[in-house]
A and B are shown apart, each in its own frame.
Chain A
Amino acid sequence: MLTDDFLRQLISVGEVDLLVGVPTHNSAETVGQTVQGIRVGLLKYFPRERAVILNADAGSKDSTRDVVAAAAINDVQRSSDLYALRTLPCISTVYGDSPAAEVALRTILAAAELLRAKACAIVSPESTNITPDWIERLLRPVYRDNFDLVTPVYRRHKFDGLLLRNLIYPMTRALYAKRVREPYGAEFAFSGGFCSHLLEMQVWDHDAGGVGTEMRMTMAAMAGGFRLYQTFLGTKPHLDRGSADLVAAMRQTVGTLFWSLEPNLQYWSTKRDTESVPTCGAEYDLTTEPIRVNRKRLYQLFSSGVGELEPVLKSILSAQTLAEVQGIAKLAEDDFRYPHELWVKTAYEFASSYHKSVINRDHIIQSLAPLYRGKVYTFLVENRDASGEEVEANVEALCLTFEGLKPYLLDLWNARE
């Protein structure tokens, strides 16, 4: 429920054309630069539109909210370096005392609906490399061209976004038949109509613990027949996540993907050929400068994980798949490869088991982590010296394998039903 203070702020803002939401938590160090980029983008590309910057804050202890509020342009605060035709309100609300992406997003969605925003964008406070044209690239397709969801495409290092390229993108593409590169970007935009749809669906209320909200939005858009668009935003800052973050990331992404298959069965089970999504700018852009990656540890975690988790994997995987996984786990590091087909079958069997809840669903997701590390090891080896195009060809081959084996998942799904 929105607070009275926040409601008062919304009343003062009134109806808007554009809303840019910035979820924060102790983001004072970076959010100023981000909000400045948003402000310049709005003034440059949408000078006539009624816009608001909305900060949903998780109880920051630093000056995050003040920094955001300082970006407003009104008759008290005027910008010396920017010309604004109209007022640009920056409002802020505290939705809790710890970060919760789904609550932040729900707050922004609710505000967007109350303000009757025609187009909304979400920008991460960490996106200090934001340029004004991000705002144009995110909002224009919705505001001017009537798309419902705009997902980002980032320039990444070839070894960044590995979970995305080895599982999420190919599997989502195969099942939902839409080639959405980044189904859970930190930046995205959506229409007022889709916003209302999401609020009605309450897509965040599921048993994955309220994580993966952005991804659920993408699934909802695809399954709901909403118009999708991709927009290239440039370099994605690489956030170095330790192994401890992997399971959390998998819960948010893989867990969400698996979860979404149940409510959307009617949709994905009948889809055959994949469709491309209109894209502004490059569909992919990989950089290939050399970086150090500890492959050995990945291999070790894979091998040990397969051994330690054998009882769990037995309940998830078919006997044949488990045997093949155990077989490659015995290979020497130099000979070890996780073939595409085996990886796809692994993923589909995990999805099916998740659906069936053969064991605790969270344990299923956790159990996938060591196997995924084996696939990542393979990816790193196979693409060690690859160019961007070669990496992309490799990813495309995996996608085709996911698409080719989609009937396998359907058989599993129906058999287990």
Chain B
Amino acid sequence: MTLLQDGLWYKDAIIYQVHVRTFHDSNGDGIGDFRGLAEKLDYLQELGITALWLMPFFPSPLRDDGYDIADYRSVHPNYGTLNDFKSFLAAAHERGIRVIVEMVLNHTSDQHPWFQESRSSRDNPRRDWYVWSDTDTRYKGARIIFLDTETSNWARDPVSKSYYWHRFFSHQPDLNYDNPAVREEMWSIMQFWLEMGVDGFRLDAVPYLIEREGTSCENLPETHVILKDLRSKLDQHFTGRMLLAEANQWPANLRPYFGDGDEFHMAFHFPVMPRMFMSVMLEDRKPIMDILQQTPAIPDPCQWCLFLRNHDELTLEMVTDVERDYMYDTYAGDKAMRLNLGIRRRLAPLLENDRRRVELMNGMLMSLPGTPIIYYGDEIGMGDNIHLGDRNGVRTPMQWDGGWNAGFSSADPESLYSPLILNPVYGYPAVNVDSQKRSGHSLLAWMKRIISARKSTQVFGRGSIEFLHPANHRVLAYVRQLKNEAVLVVNNLSSSAQAVELDLQRYKGNILVEMFGRNIFPRIGDLPYLLTMGPYQFFWFRLRRI
């Protein structure tokens, strides 16, 4: 299989997020690697995903799971070599799977040679590669992001006896993007990987590139200038590549990251994610409707990225205080589940391992406007371990089978990079790929079916959305439309059966064809279209005028 040469491939993509370390260990050292990942590409192809997003795999002291990069042009020895990466990349492309690489622009590790040089003396040529100050009182308007660990955005460096700026951990000094040399170097690094063949970058923490006094130091116009410049260079030199923005912001603040179609191709829609959880718990479509109605239109070539869970905590930064309290109380009763402004749990435990809710949430993920991202292991309902520090509880080894180390590694269990999940509900003997492959009714089998259904039409990736407003607020209904193709999506957010009347007059005369069983439902007539739905049930109907 070869990659389809469609510049808008990312709109139809099904992205699978994985950390190399977590997926499969080929050399028995207890840590996943690129060879191991390559060995599992057949599994991913069978699942139906079309793109892989790899978390940072660069040399790093690993104090923030690789987001503290010490060398941007190499591979961490734990994960293999640059050649291993190239082989993996070729193998993925052979299977029609694109590869998106993490690029941490905002900061480096404090062990990066640049920072070591920068701190070494005030006269060092790289001094201005980072943001230094003699006081810790500048940029007071900037919030502290990692509230649980940091008390200031400034840290005093004992070597140079001055303060350096960091928006995240204090071991992650921010690069100084006012320095043209920094900008040039980062583009050069991106070129390095693009020339190797990577299909896109997920650019980490992009709102924070520039600092200005008297501002929040987020989303500044100068930041957009830098990002537009990167995009321009990308378009000049490469085709079919994609930039994905990680900017945990409100929709109105996110919109500028698309520019006029000349900045990012895609951006995560962070605020919709917690509201999907909220809607299901409240059994009320209002939170989802509220945020999507606040979401501005984006340029045609651009796309939102949607996800249910990822490697971080379920972020509650983009919710109100009332909503955050509600989310904590309902999804994180145990305080150990909370981290920063979020909840460090996986999808299945969040939803109490309720298969119906897991399916409903995935159904919405796949049918709302945007490109869906599946976090590794969520396709089989993996659990988490809230007793591991930081966000490591959602980064445990992939559970391939019920055997030695869950089929992840041949190493001694003590030498695994992380303990396996062992509890009776989510432990690898109960939840693993091998056992789920044996059943046509497993979550894995169901995920394959829904991915297949999603891929059967471009309407979900590229179509418009029209919300219906049935009086029953427990039902979220919308019509996705692309040219002459229309799909009606109806989601019952409630734990009980619901009757709903839909105003489908605009589609009068169409029959409904359910997309999974392909059964025909009655033709739309003059009356409101009555549907009865089981608890957490959802329907995807093709509207066909036959």
Contacts and interface: CB of A to CB of B under 8 A. Distances in A.
A14 interface: yes
Interface in A8-62: 8-9, 11-12, 14-15, 47-48, 50
Contacts of A8: 471, 501
Nearest to A87: B473
B394 to A, nearest CB: 26
A74 interface: yes
Contacts of B326: 47-48, 85
Given A9-B471, A75-B290, A86-B286, A14 B494 contact: yes
B284 A86 contact: yes
A83 B499 CA distance: 28
A90 to B, nearest CB: 12
B20 to A, nearest CB: 40
A158 to B, nearest CB: 43
B470 interface: yes
B284 A87 contact: yes
Chain A contact residues: helix, strand, loop or mixed: loop
B499 A75 contact: no
A89 interface: yes
B286 A84 contact: yes
Nearest to A91: B471
B470 A12 contact: yes
Chain B contact residues: helix, strand, loop or mixed: mixed
B503 to A, nearest CB: 12
Contact of B473 (A12, A48, A78, A85): A12
Nearest to B323: A85
B322 A83 contact: yes
Interface in A284-328: none
Interface in B492-535: 494, 496, 498-501
Contact of A83 (B278, B320, B473, B494): B320
Interface in B449-477: 467, 469-474
Contacts of B284: 50, 86-87
Nearest to B475: A12
A144 to B, nearest CB: 15
Interface residues of A toward B: which range? 20 to 34
A76 interface: yes
Contacts of B470: 12
Determine which residue in A9, A48, A83, A86 has the highest number of CB atoms from chain B within 10 A of its CB, and name it: A86
Contacts of B290: 75, 78
Interface string B56-81: 00000000000000000000000000
A11 B286 contact: no
Nearest to B496: A15
Contacts of B469: 74-76
Contacts of A83: 320, 322
A83 B323 CA distance: 10
A244 B281 CA distance: 54
B285 interface: yes
Interface string A85-128: 11101000000000000000000000000000000000000000
Given A48-B326, A83-B320, A14 B286 contact: no
Nearest to B278: A85
A329 B194 CA distance: 109
B282 interface: yes
Contacts of A74: 286, 469, 473
A14 B472 contact: yes
A73 B322 CA distance: 17
24 contacts: A11-B472, A12-B470, A12-B472, A12-B473, A12-B500, A12-B501, A14-B283, A50-B284, A74-B286, A74-B473, A75-B285, A75-B289, A75-B290, A75-B469, A75-B473, A78-B290, A84-B286, A85-B286, A86-B282, A86-B286, A86-B287, A87-B285, A87-B286, A89-B471
Interface of B: 278, 282-287, 289-290, 293, 320, 322-323, 326, 467, 469-474, 494, 496, 498-501
Interface of A: 8-9, 11-12, 14-15, 47-48, 50, 73-76, 78, 83-87, 89
Given A9-B471, A50-B283, 13 more contacts: A11-B472, A14-B496, A50-B284, A74-B286, A75-B469, A78-B290, A83-B322, A85-B286, A85-B323, A86-B286, A87-B285, A87-B286, A89-B473
